[in-house]
Chains A and B, each alone.
Chain A
Amino acid sequence: MTQAPAIELKGISKAFGPVQANKDISIRVMPGTIHGIIGENGAGKSTLMSILYGFYKADAGEIFIAGEKKNITDSQTAIAAGIGMVFQHFKLVENFTVLENVVLGAEDSGLLKPSLARARRELKNLAEEYELNVDPDAVIQDVGVGMQQRVEILKALYRKADILILDEPTGVLTPAEADHLFRILENLRREGKTIILITHKLREIMEITDTVSVMRRGEMTATVKTSETNPAELAELMVGRKVLLRVDKAPAQIGRKILEVKDLNVTDAKGVHRLKGISFDVHAGEILGIAGVAGNGQSELLEVLGGYEKATGSIKMNGEEIDLTGAKSDGQSRRARGIAHVPEDRQREGLIMDFHAWENTGFGYHRDARYQKNALFMDNAALKKDTEEKMARFDVRPPDPTLAAKSFSGGNQQKIVLAREIERNPDLLLIGQPTRGVDIGAIEFIHQQIVALRDQGKAILLVSVELEEILSLSDRIAVMFDGKIMGERMPQNTDEKELGLLMAGMSGGDS
């Protein structure tokens, strides 16, 4: 091997207080390759990349770029060393054009015009070279997430990055957009760029990377050639034990109609038509999966069913009409009707992050008789006891009811919400993004709980942007695009490709 590695990290360690986020990590990435870093949430992937990009300073260890030792103190020196980063949450100015965003922070002089002209020429070259086509004059807020991501990549390339780090890049993309992204990455690799891809999706690792490093609890547990490994082995390396990647479930025993939605329409406060005449049913003993790219009305659907968004149309729960004007019913009356709701965003809705776990256990059900001591006071002791029992049954770690919700990992936070909602024994469970930000070990557990509830004859409405999750859990799949249901499919008769087309708004005919 004569060529120096594009990036070499030697013995990187970083601690936050008592938490060892990175422990003695060494890694070599050769130029012109795509290197995947996979690991559960909190495994230390993002910390490692933040050190490489100069956001954090390592407690120990050295960084070599193209064989040269570098002291990266901030993002400016990282950029100067040829490192570009595409964050999970884009860092773009919404009301600037594509061109302005690319130039921002990399202007040639005080005058903007020559910089913009140069950037326009450069963008054209890059677009041809790498299939990175964007409209330089489009305003960011008007373009889709796929193009926004390409702008982020262009920003890095415009700053002469040779090394590109992408943090969970496909989280917001449709399958087709993800394929496009991968084509771009392959083009970049062909031109000799080095790419580091951080992800928790095994499929992406297998599809595109040359080598892959697995992280677990701050340590690098393995670095292997992608061609010499398989998803099951990687999953085991990530979690530290054998993992069931497929969901085991018996055929559905479909019962009576629990939820009947007819011609549901929602117009939000800004006057945007979010739901455009949606109709569907959910039966007892059935999981109806709603697939779709985020932002196509799924959130509004859950909010309406959960009782905190107004709508027109008709919803019948157990045959009874529900008030949709918000006047006579709210989240409380929905719960009384047997609707439980695990919201999409547990940090914003499902939990109060600064509340203790025990306070969160009663959240939404705090008016229940069993949580009251008498007419005046709540029974905090009963809440704490209930929380302890729930934590034991749902294997929440650490099992301490007095910890604030924010002190738990994503998976354990989700288990607290799930325990609260499932143990109410609802007729209908609404569940949004059940495994977002949840580690593989907990995903398995959460999926089992959902299937177990279905097998008890409950109706479940599952909303997820993860197609794999929809395909493996659902007994029936509806695809949403732009506030409409594009079609319904049975999971055994469809595949990711067909669903992907529906998700992109291309109707597949029958439904």
Chain B
Amino acid sequence: MDVMPKWADVILIPVISIILAAILSALVILAIGENPWAALKLMVSGALGSTYGWGYTIYYATNFIFTGLAVAIAAQAKMFNIGGEGQALLGGLGVAIVCLYIPWPHWTVALIGAAAAAALFGAAWAAIPAFLQAKRGSHIVITTIMFNFIAAALLNFLLIGALKAPGMEPATSKFPEPAHLPSFQDMFNFGDTTFFRGAPANVTFFVALAACLFVWALVWRTRLGYEIRSFGESESAAKYAGISPTKIIMVTMLISGALAGMMAINNVQGEAERLVLNAAEGAGFIGIAVALMGRNHPFGVLLAALLFGFLYQGGAELALWTSIPRELIIVIQALVILFTGALDNMVRMPLERLFLAMRRA
């Protein structure tokens, strides 16, 4: 019998964690002489108070949905893919190559082509650690994190060399016009009223929503998902049933890497429209917190990604309008990650005890 009802696990624990993180953040803000209530109001209005704010929040959230899903699906097979960052960087490489070297006639085909390339490159980057895990037993946590560094170095090498555009910057040249994705500003433009003006959110958000649906159907409705979950729950039982661990490890990690890689159509193709250094900006790591908070469920990942999108955009507004330094914003974001992710058990244990006591009474 479960100790806690499901709703407590899925809703109560994240909410309490966020409140705890908020209280601690408030104390930090108070300590540097700012008003935490005003700061919160600024964050809310900055991130959610206008379509412009929403446009940023959704843009960040789109990144986190992809990397969160990548972590979530690997977690279904009880694998911890912390290589989302590197896989997303490689996805960016894939996007850049097809956008620069293939003359796309229209953004729709460019999107399909770039998405395929991003998925392929991300998957390829995950394939090596997956193979090492499946065949040699090298721990996936160690190998994927090392591959993040290799990916960063590889991108550096290419962006100051083969792919570098003329000029001073270590970046590719701008993608040609037909490869540009429509932003929310282009899509929600109704004559005199334009929504999302100047915000980077783009059509990729809908691809991300489709990815959530895809992952949900894959995990809970297909044979492969059934085998992935079986393997994750019990490797010994999977062997008994004739499910090949090698196959599951490989396939799951390829899907995971592909999802992380597909983040690049949002930030590289949709926003920057060229490949720059460190394009993923840590979104691969945020994906871990997003998946953890979202309980490895696509719908949870979506909600958690929106929360983190809010934190990113609200934090940027704070840095812009108050004397709260940029570094402190990172501290606040870190506190949320710490509480929702790493300190999950700190909230869970007392809550479980409470529910046990209530049931006894």
Please give the residue numbers on chain A whose beta carbons come within 8 Å of chain B beta carbons, in ascending order: 15, 17-18, 306-308, 330-335, 341, 343, 345, 348-355, 359, 362-364, 366-367, 372, 376-378, 380, 407
Contact residues in B for A351 (Cβ distance below 8 Å): 237
- Shortest beta-carbon contacts, A-B, top 10: A331-B242, A332-B242, A364-B241, A349-B240, A308-B239, A330-B242, A352-B233, A377-B221, A348-B236, A349-B237
The answer to whether B230 touches A378 (Cβ under 8 A) is no
Please give the residue numbers on chain B whose beta carbons come within 8 Å of chain A beta carbons, in ascending order: 1, 217, 221-223, 226-227, 229-230, 233-234, 236-237, 239-244, 356, 359-360
**Are A17 and B222 CB-contacts (below 8 A) given A363-B237, A377-B217?**
no
* Docked complex Cα distance between A308 and B239 (Å): 6
CB distance from B187 to the nearest CB of A (A): 30
* Docked complex Cα distance between A332 and B239 (Å): 10
Contact of B240 among A18, A353, A354, A364 (CB under 8 A): A364
The answer to whether B221 touches A380 (Cβ under 8 A) is yes
The answer to whether A308 touches B222 (Cβ under 8 A) is no
* Docked complex Cα distance between A355 and B242 (Å): 17
The answer to whether B359 touches A378 (Cβ under 8 A) is no
Contact residues in A for B360 (Cβ distance below 8 Å): 15, 17
Contact residues in B for A15 (Cβ distance below 8 Å): 360
Contact residues in A for B242 (Cβ distance below 8 Å): 307-308, 330-335, 364
* Docked complex Cα distance between A380 and B226 (Å): 11
The answer to whether B240 touches A378 (Cβ under 8 A) is no
CB distance from A20 to the nearest CB of B (A): 12
Contact residues in B for A307 (Cβ distance below 8 Å): 242
The answer to whether B236 touches A366 (Cβ under 8 A) is no
Contact residues in B for A353 (Cβ distance below 8 Å): 233-234
Which among B239, B240, B356 has the greatest number of chain A C-beta atoms within 10 A?
Answer: B240
* Docked complex Cα distance between A165 and B89 (Å): 62
**Are A378 and B1 CB-contacts (below 8 A) given A331-B240, A352-B233, A364-B240?**
no
A-B contact pairs, 12 of them (CB 8 A): A308-B239, A308-B242, A331-B242, A333-B242, A341-B240, A345-B236, A352-B234, A366-B226, A367-B223, A376-B222, A377-B221, A380-B221
Contact residues in A for B223 (Cβ distance below 8 Å): 366-367, 372, 378
* Docked complex Cα distance between A218 and B181 (Å): 68
CB distance from B33 to the nearest CB of A (A): 50
Contact residues in B for A380 (Cβ distance below 8 Å): 221
* Docked complex Cα distance between A372 and B222 (Å): 9
The answer to whether A330 touches B244 (Cβ under 8 A) is yes
Contact of A363 among B217, B221, B230, B359 (CB under 8 A): B230
* Docked complex Cα distance between A355 and B226 (Å): 10
Contact residues in A for B229 (Cβ distance below 8 Å): 355
CB distance from B72 to the nearest CB of A (A): 17
The answer to whether A348 touches B234 (Cβ under 8 A) is yes
Contact residues in B for A376 (Cβ distance below 8 Å): 221-222
**Are A308 and B230 CB-contacts (below 8 A) given A377-B222, A378-B223?**
no
**Are A348 and B237 CB-contacts (below 8 A) given A17-B359, A330-B244, A407-B1?**
yes
CB distance from B56 to the nearest CB of A (A): 36
Task: Give the nearest-CB partner of B234 in chain A.
Answer: A352
> Known contacts A17-B1, A341-B240, A372-B223; can you find 19 more A-B pairs with CB under 8 A?
A17-B356, A306-B240, A308-B240, A331-B239, A331-B241, A331-B242, A331-B243, A334-B242, A350-B237, A350-B240, A352-B230, A352-B233, A352-B237, A355-B233, A363-B241, A376-B222, A377-B221, A378-B223, A407-B1
* Docked complex Cα distance between A214 and B298 (Å): 51
The answer to whether A343 touches B226 (Cβ under 8 A) is no
Which among A332, A349, A351 has the greatest number of chain B C-beta atoms within 10 A?
Answer: A349
Contact residues in B for A349 (Cβ distance below 8 Å): 234, 236-237, 239-240
* Docked complex Cα distance between A234 and B67 (Å): 61
Contact residues in B for A348 (Cβ distance below 8 Å): 234, 236-237
CB distance from B5 to the nearest CB of A (A): 12
Contact of A366 among B1, B217, B227, B239 (CB under 8 A): B227
Contact residues in A for B227 (Cβ distance below 8 Å): 366
Task: Give the nearest-CB partner of B2 in chain A.
Answer: A404
Task: Give the nearest-CB partner of A302 in chain B.
Answer: B240
CB distance from B241 to the nearest CB of A (A): 4
Contact residues in B for A363 (Cβ distance below 8 Å): 230, 237, 241
CB distance from B281 to the nearest CB of A (A): 36
* Docked complex Cα distance between A363 and B227 (Å): 9
* Docked complex Cα distance between A36 and B217 (Å): 54
Contact residues in B for A331 (Cβ distance below 8 Å): 239-243
* Docked complex Cα distance between A334 and B360 (Å): 48
Task: Give the nearest-CB partner of A346 in chain B.
Answer: B237
Contact residues in A for B221 (Cβ distance below 8 Å): 376-378, 380
* Docked complex Cα distance between A354 and B242 (Å): 19
**Are A378 and B239 CB-contacts (below 8 A) given A17-B1, A352-B233, A354-B233?**
no
**Are A343 and B233 CB-contacts (below 8 A) given A366-B223, A376-B222, A378-B223?**
no
The answer to whether B226 touches A378 (Cβ under 8 A) is yes
CB distance from A268 to the nearest CB of B (A): 14
Contact of A359 among B226, B239, B243 (CB under 8 A): B226
CB distance from A372 to the nearest CB of B (A): 7
Contact of B222 among A335, A345, A362, A378 (CB under 8 A): A378
* Docked complex Cα distance between A372 and B223 (Å): 8
Task: Give the nearest-CB partner of B240 in chain A.
Answer: A349
* Docked complex Cα distance between A352 and B229 (Å): 10
* Docked complex Cα distance between A388 and B237 (Å): 23
Contact residues in A for B233 (Cβ distance below 8 Å): 352-355
Task: Give the nearest-CB partner of B3 in chain A.
Answer: A17
The answer to whether A343 touches B240 (Cβ under 8 A) is yes
Contact residues in A for B359 (Cβ distance below 8 Å): 17-18
* Docked complex Cα distance between A298 and B195 (Å): 71
